[in-house]
Amino acid sequence: MSDNEYTEQSYFTDVTDMAVEIREQHKACGSDFEESDVLHEYVDGSSWVIYYARARQVLEYSDNDCAIFEELGPQQWEDWGTAFCQAAFFAMHRDVSEALAELPEIETCDDCDASYNEDEDHDCPEAEGDED
């Protein structure tokens, strides 16, 4: 991604892509996977919360720009860079959480332990054994 892509569209594309990537990882890893465990790392590593200029844009684009105050209460900062980056982290964290909530849930089959999207048909290999 180039430096001039600080647009609202590119932000929300990245939010959605991050949610999809986390959900795909969940699907690959199965029922023991906790999305919330990796969500923190994903957002923490995003250029949107690392770079001051981008973090400022996140707070302009996100409806969750005040999430940090709801999570942590009043804040005290000594410089704008820290303020914007920390506030952007909480905003993006909540934006990606909301994007995840829009995606199909992952189901895990009790018979064969396979994971699949809730809106997919699961053609279970174990089910054939039930036919006499």
Counting beta carbons within 10 angstroms of the beta carbon of residue 12, is it exposed (0 to 12), middle (13 to 18) or buried (19 or more)? middle
- Shortest Cβ 25–Zn ion spacing (Å): 20
Of 45 and 125, which has the nearer Cβ to Zn ion? 125
Of 10 and 117, which has the nearer Cβ to Zn ion? 117
Of 72 and 112, which has the nearer Cβ to Zn ion? 112
* Contact set with Zn ion (CB under 5 A): 109, 111-112, 114, 124
Around Cβ 55, how many Cβ atoms within 10 Å? 25
Of 29 and 112, which has the nearer Cβ to Zn ion? 112
* Tokens, residue 75: 């804040």
- Residue pair 64/74 in contact (Cβ under 8 Å)? The answer is no
- Shortest Cβ 120–Zn ion spacing (Å): 12
- Shortest Cβ 22–Zn ion spacing (Å): 23
H or E segment to which residue 117 belongs: strand 115-117
CA torsion 97-99-102-106 (nearest 10°) is: -60
- Shortest Cβ 132–Zn ion spacing (Å): 19
